Amino acid sequence: MNPMLILAIYLGFFLLNFLLDWFLNILNINFALKKRESAPLGIEVHETAYARGVKYTLRKARFGLVQLVTERVLVLIILFTGAAGALDALVNSMGLGSYWQGLVFLTLVSVLLWVVALPSSLYLQFVIEEEFGFNTTSLRTFFGDIAKRAPITLLVLATLLGGFYVVLKLAGAWWWIWAWAFWMLFHLLMAVLFPVLIAPLFNKFTALPEGALRKRLSTLTDRCKFPNRGIFVIDGSRRSKHSNAYFTGIGKVRRIVIFDTLIDSLQENEIEAVLAHEIGHWKFGHIRKRFAIVALSSLILFAIIGFMLGWESLFLAFGFNSPSLHALLFCLTFYSGPISSLFSPVFNIWLRKHEYQADQFAAKQMGDARPLREALLKLGENNLSNFRPHPAYSFWRYSHPALPERLAALEAKT
């Protein structure tokens, strides 16, 4: 296929994706403006919290439009100037081997893209989040986190790329299957190491103190036969007033993690209901199912990589002089958004179904839907959630059901 035809097809998807994103954002903004006077039926939310939630939604959505345009312009600039290919040629002139050329190229690209994205990150954190009272991050912490992430990211990139190049050299035509196997093993290894080695570099994790709450939550995990290495409180308030709870890790290193902000804002039975919801994901096998989908989709992706690596016209279309694994990885990461986003609604439908199941499990464990319902309402108020997103926007973008839909489903089972 001619490189110009490949480029034209890509630009068609690019334009379609841009128009769809712009349309959905405008639709959601106009819907929020139209419905900002009152919360939807069935939601007992304070008028002040609802009004602030609408303002927060509009503030982020309008800034999102600016980000949408700047990100798309950046893609077009890099695409039409051949900047990525020129940088690759510059690195190639250093006379490095394939692996080191790839590592240097991808590292430089990551740094340059981070620099470009930095103003948006700072504005979001220190202007918008600050304006609505969520930001508790200092500039020192912000850049300290970046300094910690940089060597970790470099180590991960070096390990992955090194593994891929070794497999590419030794495994022959079917190298991509072995590369996929390496990727999955690495994925599992990170799931084990992240909660015990990486996450503590950024946050302080302390065991939930003895008391009524710990007894209540431990009784819940015992009743559900949920294996874990303990219940930990994370100092989320050090960076933000947003709250959350989750479990992380696999097997014997699985941990239950609760934000300190969640403990401060919810009653004990409401925290129990939130944890019961998270356990519901485990009980229904959602984590295993999602891992299976990741495994299958990544296998397909690696098969595509195996095919594309010898497709010279593809590399020429995106500004590279010759095929290489690192150039292909860059293209798949940087340019694939317009195509991959077409699959997001299908995946989100599936994820929303999981949320409904976990909600029903929590209601059953509590013997009443009201604790979870109250918890969701408080979290919605405290986080200034969009209580009334446009249906088309939530259908396309949301991995969780919109709050009115979740509450209605819980109400129907009460």
E-only strand ranges, 33-139: none
Q: How far apart are CA 119 and CA 229, in angstroms?
A: 39
What is the secondary structure of 170-203 as a DSSP string? HSGGGHHHHHHHHHHHHHHHHHHHIIIIIGGGTS
* Catalytic-role residue among 21, 272, 278, 355: 278
Beta-strand pair 245-248/255-259: antiparallel
* Torsion region of 285: left, alpha or beta (phi above 0 gives left; psi -120 to 50 gives alpha): left
Name residue, tokens 């990100």: 71
Q: Is 405 a catalytic residue?
A: no
pLDDT score, position 352: 94
Q: Which of 309, 318, 321, 334 is nearest to 169 (CA)?
A: 309
pLDDT score, position 130: 94
Provide the token pair at 162.
Answer: 């090194």
Burial class (CB in 10 A: 0-12, 13-18, 19+), 67: middle
φ, ψ (nearest 5 deg) of residue 228:
-160, 165
Q: Please write down the long-range contacts of 179-185, taking CB distance under 8 Å and 24 or more positions apart.
A: 179/302, 179/305, 180/298, 180/299, 180/302, 183/298, 183/302, 184/295, 184/298
Q: Which residues contact 355 (CB under 8 A, 6 or more apart)?
A: 399, 400, 401, 406
Q: Is 235 a catalytic residue?
A: no
Helix axis angle for 286-308 and 268-283, nearest 10°, is 50
pLDDT score, position 228: 82
Which whole-number Å values give the CA distances from 152 to 109, 113, 198, 199, in the listed order?
16, 17, 8, 11
Lay out the sheet containing 205-207: strands in order across.
205-207, 231-234, 255-259, 245-248
Q: Which of 148, 176, 185 is nearest to 329 (CA)?
A: 176
Question: pLDDT tens string for the chain (414 positions)?
Answer: 789 999 999 999 999 999 999 999 999 999 988 877 665 655 667 777 788 888 999 999 999 999 999 999 999 999 999 999 999 999 999 988 899 999 999 999 999 999 999 999 999 999 999 999 999 999 999 999 999 999 999 999 999 999 999 999 898 889 999 999 999 999 989 888 888 889 899 999 999 899 999 999 999 999 998 888 888 999 989 899 988 888 887 776 788 889 999 999 899 999 999 999 999 999 999 988 999 999 999 999 999 999 899 899 999 999 999 899 999 999 998 998 888 888 889 899 999 999 999 999 999 999 989 999 999 989 888 888 888 899 999 999 999 998 888 888 888 765
Angle, alpha carbons 127-70-394 (nearest 5°): 75
Q: How far apart are CA 102 and CA 99, in angstroms?
A: 5
Q: Which of 56, 58, 54 is nearest to 45 (CA)?
A: 54
Q: Are 8 and 313 in contact (CB under 8 A)?
A: no
pLDDT score, position 42: 56
What is the secondary structure of 267-278 as a DSSP string? -HHHHHHHHHHH
pLDDT score, position 244: 84
At position 319, the amino acid (one-letter code) is G
* Catalytic-role residue among 88, 359, 381, 405: 359
